[in-house]
Amino acid sequence: NKVITLKERPSGKPEENNFEFQDEEKPSLSDGEILLKSKYISVDPYLRGRMRDVDSYIPPFQLNEALSSMVVAEIIESKNKDFQQGDYVSGMLDWKQFQKHSGKGLNKITNKNVPLSAYLGVLGLTGLTAYLALENIGKLKEGETLLVSGAAGAVGSIVGQIGKIKGCRVVGIAGTDEKIAHIKDDFGFDAGINYKTTKDMTKAIAENCPDGVDVYFDNVGGEILDSAMQNINDFARIINCGAISIYNKEEVPTGMRLEGIMVKKRALMQGFIVRDHVDEFQHAIKQLGSWLADDKLKFDETKREGFENVPKAFIEIFEGKNTGKMLVEV
């Protein structure tokens, strides 16, 4: 039974030798327990933060202990009357091929109309993040302009499509021309900006958002956030969902460069953590599921094969190798 642990804390961009594969015995069950076989493992940008030895809203990973993330797993043996062998569950689980569990806190996957892997993406934490951050902070109104960075990624691609469902002009920022074509052609975005080939992002955002930006959904932080802020309207809402452009920086840029704009525009900028909204998950999953069934919402994923490729897939997120949700089929 293979387990992936953190051998050393990454400095800068994570590397494969920061991780270690260890062997442990396949667990045997006591009463009330279930045996899980990992099927799909989610790799996410926020895990980078947990690799630092600092206090955050979620505790840091410990060296030489199993890493963890959202996993879809099959129950291959059950001594718990609430779970049947052959059922699938999703939950926060260790990066192990096999593990035992009490079942507490796991979600049973009952809807067989969507692929299992969707429970790590559109019907998992990234879809929930997109929907609930827009509901709670964005409060989109028809006819407004929504700008989203990380637009071809797991969160961003769902954000943009929800913007279209709500009748907004939607502009996405992503790192390749293929990703820009994809969000426009397949997901209905009105426009896209490739931040890697655009010299003046502030100007490009102004050109693509002629009526200004009412909601900026920020997945990347840094200079793209600065440029977005130069284009916000009065009473704009800025959702600080993530800041992947600085996750690998050893020194985080300091100082609030934007407060003049915040005052002038009476804007609202608010951080968002999806786990604060657990009570809203069921209603959000229902809404996202119904949009999927009606074909109003599409999703994609970048699937890597094999348990041995989990660390590599995680690193590839920081290279923009994924379109949609990055995950590993074990």
Positions that interact with ligand NDP (CB under 6 A): 44-46, 125-126, 129, 150, 152-156, 174-176, 179, 219-220, 241-245, 272-274, 317-318, 320, 322, 326
Residue type for position 35: L
| Two structure tokens written together for 99 | 């593990």
Given the complex with ligand NDP, which of 11 and 84 has the nearer CB atom? 11
Place of tokens 């019907």: 123
* Shortest distance in whole angstroms from residue 289 CB to ligand NDP: 19
Helix 125-133 / helix 154-165 crossing angle, nearest 10 deg: 40
* Shortest distance in whole angstroms from residue 299 CB to ligand NDP: 11
Query: In sequence order, what are the beta bridge partners of 213?
Result: 232
* Shortest distance in whole angstroms from residue 327 CB to ligand NDP: 10
Given the complex with ligand NDP, which of 45 and 163 has the nearer CB atom? 45
The span from the CA of 260 to the CA of 181, in Å, is: 35
Given the complex with ligand NDP, which of 190 and 218 has the nearer CB atom? 218
Nearest CA to 58 among 90, 92, 89, 91?
92
* Shortest distance in whole angstroms from residue 221 CB to ligand NDP: 8
The span from the CA of 76 to the CA of 39, in Å, is: 11
Given the complex with ligand NDP, which of 174 and 285 has the nearer CB atom? 174
DSSP string, 141-156: -TT-EEEEESTTBHHH
* Shortest distance in whole angstroms from residue 311 CB to ligand NDP: 16
The span from the CA of 21 to the CA of 136, in Å, is: 40
* Shortest distance in whole angstroms from residue 222 CB to ligand NDP: 7
DSSP tag of 1: -
The span from the CA of 192 to the CA of 314, in Å, is: 25
The span from the CA of 172 to the CA of 250, in Å, is: 28
How distant, in Å, are the alpha carbons of 120, 137, 165, 227 from that of 147? 24, 14, 15, 11
* Shortest distance in whole angstroms from residue 132 CB to ligand NDP: 9
Given the complex with ligand NDP, which of 62 and 270 has the nearer CB atom? 270
Given the complex with ligand NDP, which of 78 and 149 has the nearer CB atom? 149
Given the complex with ligand NDP, which of 99 and 227 has the nearer CB atom? 227
Query: In sequence order, what are the beta bridge partners of 37?
Result: 74, 98
Given the complex with ligand NDP, which of 45 and 289 has the nearer CB atom? 45
Given the complex with ligand NDP, which of 123 and 155 has the nearer CB atom? 155
* Shortest distance in whole angstroms from residue 62 CB to ligand NDP: 21
The span from the CA of 314 to the CA of 323, in Å, is: 13
* Shortest distance in whole angstroms from residue 134 CB to ligand NDP: 13
Q: How many CB atoms lie within 10 A of CB 150?
A: 26
115 burial level (CB within 10 Å; 0-12, 13-18, 19+): middle
The span from the CA of 133 to the CA of 276, in Å, is: 11
